[in-house]
Structure 1
Amino acid sequence: MSYENLTGRTAVIAGAASGMGAATALLLARNGARVALLARRADRLETLAAKIEAEGGTALAVAVDVTDSAGVTAAAAAVHAAFGPVDLVVNSAGVMLPNPITEGREDEWTRMLDTNVAGRLRMIRAFLPDLLAAADAGRTADLVNISSIGAHVTFPSYSVYAATQAAVTQLSATLRTELGPRNVRVTNIEPGLTATELGEHIDNAELSGQLDGMFGFLDALRADDIADLIAYTTSRPAHVNLRQAIILPTRQA
């Protein structure tokens, strides 16, 4: 797909090492945006940046863990040094660690809260001044948060993960009341079953098997599907905000 309105924009993508983040970075770059790639795995970022550059695009790899406040601040400084201010932020870094609440897995709870919720807040804090400045200058400014249908659809043993996604959805809605009047668009995207690495860290054989079964039954979304939605959304005219999008495989009720 071609999205001409993305040409000349400067985007930062958190969670760019794989899945939705990597696919989004590729698509934005192919449509003329400069892309800053943020994630923990430096080798993955360097490989992706090299691919983008080989295709004629412009990319910057910045290794950072969004749970590290100082690290996010330093990453923003690196992006600014290379590209200047950004006008498009995609918050796609996330982790899904389901377990029955009776397991009491505080280690998983903390990791999900710090990555899925606080990590997004750190990214917003670091780059919001850029978005506001872009909007003040009459340019398009976008904040895109990736949530999940778990924000409103209940799944047993996914309660803490779902709570973090509901927090992201509500954060997006409330930020829109603050930033919309200042011409910064806020979009919240809730994917259904999507083929990414998200399920590979599940520390529960039964739940992992159930997820595999869903992939066997449903024709799951691909990361490229989410990237296409993000590119479409952020390439609309500046006065149009597709504020909330739920994207599901056709077979997923």
Structure 2
Amino acid sequence: MTVLTGTPLAGRVAVITGASSGIGAATALRLAGLGAKVAVMARRKDRLDDLVATVQAAGGTAIALPVDVTGRESVNDAAAEVAERLGTADLVVNNAGVQLISPITDLRQDDWQRQIDLNITGVMNVIGAFLPHLTAAAGSGRPADLITTSSIAATRILEKFSVYSGTKAYISHLTRLLRVELGPKNIRVATIEPGMVDTELPSHVTDPDASALMEGLLTEIDPLRSADVAETVAFIAAAPRHVNLTEITILPTAQAV
């Protein structure tokens, strides 16, 4: 992949959810470095404030929006604040998510619900709040991107991943369906399906055996870094307006499944 240089995203307004760490934080830094104004969303205000300070210290523009994306009204309020402070968002990175793998027979129903709430409902809340922004941007002739973070778990059959994989399969297929409706409106819809990424996500796993499995994978192979995925997001967004890179799977070279 060509590494982007200069400011190909100058003039664009980007919203990144799940931006307090990992892929979201790296994506915010990368998009800001390429000239976009960024609004970073997550629950942890202290981390967002640190991220905004880093962007600003480098000469970029960023605002922090401490929001739980599972709350529809909070996300709608955040969309209004983006419009007021930065302008119409034309690049939405729908990245917030959680991974809580365990055997289905453990009946960890609270974990099931948390994944559904964040990985599905949260994604839909962000789409509902920011689709009017994207529609307006595309209608005025600007690029408009809706990019969602899925996972290779959307298509791989992985033991103990049932609910998590189901939420990611929803995202990947939703992306295909949205493209049918939004592509003719010149809104690009894309999903990224990463393999093993060295982020804090595995630390969310509550099942001891599953946690050991994830930690083992991280030590057995050279995993992706958050910056690798961020570069992929930037590449999608910087493509010419008539080019939609619809589904990208990104794996560590040594990852077999």
TM-score w.r.t. structure 1 length? 0.98
Q: Which amino acid aligns with 2:104?
A: I
| Aligned with 2:161 (options 149, 152, 158) | 158
RMSD: 0.8
Query: 1:42-99 CA deviation, whole Å, 9 max, x = no partner?
Result: 0000000000000000000000001111111111122122112110000110000011
| Aligned with 1:85 (options 79, 84, 88) | 88
Taking the TM superposition and a 5 Å limit, the aligned residue runs for 1:88-103 are 88-103=91-106
Q: Which amino acid aligns with 2:62?
A: A
Please name the residue that 2:196 is paired with.
193
Please name the residue that 1:167 is paired with.
170
SS of the equivalent of 1:85 reads coil
Please name the residue that 1:177 is paired with.
180
Kindly, what percent of the aligned residue pairs are identical? 49
| Aligned with 1:20 (options 19, 23, 42) | 23
**Cα shift at 1:5:** 2.4
Deviating beyond 2 angstroms after TM superposition, the runs of 4 or more aligned structure 1 residues are none
Taking the TM superposition and a 5 Å limit, the aligned residue runs for 1:49-68 are 49-68=52-71
Query: 1:78-129 CA deviation, whole Å, 9 max, x = no partner?
Result: 2122112110000110000011101111111111011001111100110001
Work out whether residues 192 and 247 of structure 1, in 8 Å CA contact, stay in contact via their aligned partners in 2: yes
Work out whether residues 5 and 236 of structure 1, in 8 Å CA contact, stay in contact via their aligned partners in 2: no
Distance 1:154 1:22 in 2: 29
Q: Mean Cα displacement is larger for which, 123-132 or 78-87?
A: 78-87
**Cα shift at 1:4:** 3.4
Q: Which amino acid aligns with 1:33?
A: A
Q: Which amino acid aligns with 2:105?
A: T
Residue 39 (str. 1) matches residue 42 (str. 2): yes
Equivalenced residues, count = 253
Distance 1:15 1:206 in 2: 26
Please name the residue that 1:238 is paired with.
241
Q: Mean Cα displacement is larger for which, 77-86 or 123-132?
A: 77-86
Work out whether residues 38 and 63 of structure 1, in 8 Å CA contact, stay in contact via their aligned partners in 2: yes
Query: 1:206-231 CA deviation, whole Å, 9 max, x = no partner?
Result: 11111111011110000000000000
Residue 129 (str. 1) matches residue 132 (str. 2): yes
Please name the residue that 1:109 is paired with.
112
Structure 1: any 5+ residue segments left out of the alignment? none
Q: Mean Cα displacement is larger for which, 69-78 or 238-247?
A: 69-78
Structure 2: any 5+ residue segments left out of the alignment? none
Question: Does the C-alpha gap of structure 1 residues 80 and 125 become closer, same or farther in structure 2, counting only changes over 3 Å?
Answer: same
Distance 2:146 2:182 in 1: 10
Distance 1:245 1:201 in 2: 25
TM-score w.r.t. structure 2 length? 0.97
